[in-house]
Amino acid sequence: MAGLSANIITSKNRAFPNWPRPYMPSESWPYYGSHSNAAGNTDNVMLPGFLNFGSVGSSISIQGATPTNAIKMWNGQGTQQTAGSWNSGLLPTEFDAAYETYSAFYMDRVDNKLYCLLVDTTTDPDTFRMGTVDKDGNIAFVTAAHQATSTGLGAYNTFNSDTAPTLYRVGGVDGTGNFRFDKYRANTPNDNNTQPYDGVRLEINTSGGTVNGIAANTIAETTDGLIPNNVFIGNSTFNPATFMGPTDNGIIGSVVYQDYRWHQGQVYGSLGNANTGQIIMNAMWGQDCPFASGFPSGYFRPMPWLGSYMFIPISSVSLAGFTNFAKSDMHNFMDEMAVRNGLL
């Protein structure tokens, strides 16, 4: 197995691994909004701004529950920025009127660009296109449009959905590699979004040359290599989409909610092995989670942001505490949980 720490907790002693140490690099922390309930609430999620902004403390705000609304940029003193398309905030329709909602975001620390996967939900299945914006408000499309063929991509692809996938880069390094958008609740061979699920992937090449067999500036749709076996679940509660990973060992998953009513704040989510197709829902996610939700129900999700994962609220919940984790630390934590639970 690759990438496991020397002190990995094994499944033999059945102890839960602790959450990784929160990550607050001085290059981007503190920032405007970082002192107020960490990721905040769904009306005003605050995240660190561009590393090349020019002064310390800049931030980006996203409306976690309303992906049709504008994203905004602020300086460290809390003044909303108006350069280029940031003026009055950046709506998805400013890229093109056909794309009315945001589907996913990826803040790249090397490119100094915020990648915005846009979706036109008026087509069936949905149509996707990748755009970018920089600190100066310059926006651009970096792929052609792609209307999905799998009905698994026919709905619930908006950013506020707990079934909308998380973007990641092939190779796990900012500034290079195609993006992937993996949705596991999809049945492409039968094209009917019913069991068994084999998953569907959008691979997104934003570069000017062919990468991994994907033509320049295009989006390709495939099920090849997503999971090796079809997933039979027996009910309709299989929604493993907001995954982090995959780790070097193929582990995927994410914590998505916290329960104060019966389990004293225990966080839950999904955990799986993409190499074997073993995926478990409603899994307990370690112990000593360093953030908490303000309500007994509601969902949150991880954001790939400046080389880390930052958890933000998307539905009927606010988050407080430490919500940002280095990607390498989180992946190691996921591997440790997979060993504890028999997935590795």
Mean pLDDT by 10 residues, the chain (344 residues): 53 73 93 70 81 94 90 95 96 97 97 98 95 98 95 85 90 96 76 72 96 97 77 60 89 79 67 88 84 70 94 79 93 93 90
First to last CA, the chain: 8
- Structure tokens belonging to residue 57: 């403390």
* pLDDT at residue 189, rounded to an integer: 61
The residues that bridge with 203 in the sheet, in sequence order, are 180, 220
Nearest to 222 by CA among 268, 266, 170: 170
The per-type count for the chain, helices as H runs and strands as E runs, is 1, 21
Cβ neighbours, 10 Å, residue 237: 8
Cβ neighbours, 10 Å, residue 25: 14
* pLDDT at residue 294, rounded to an integer: 67
* pLDDT at residue 269, rounded to an integer: 84
| 13: CB partners within 8 A, 6+ apart | none
* pLDDT at residue 282, rounded to an integer: 80
Is the N-terminal amide bond of 92 cis, ω within 30° of 0?
no
Nearest to 140 by CA among 82, 95, 93, 203: 95
Q: How far apart are CA 344 and CA 342, in angstroms?
A: 5
3-class state of residue 238 by DSSP: coil
Helix (H) or strand (E) holding 278: strand 278-284
Report yes or no: 321 and 291 within 8 Å, Cβ to Cβ. yes
Helix (H) or strand (E) holding 291: strand 291-293
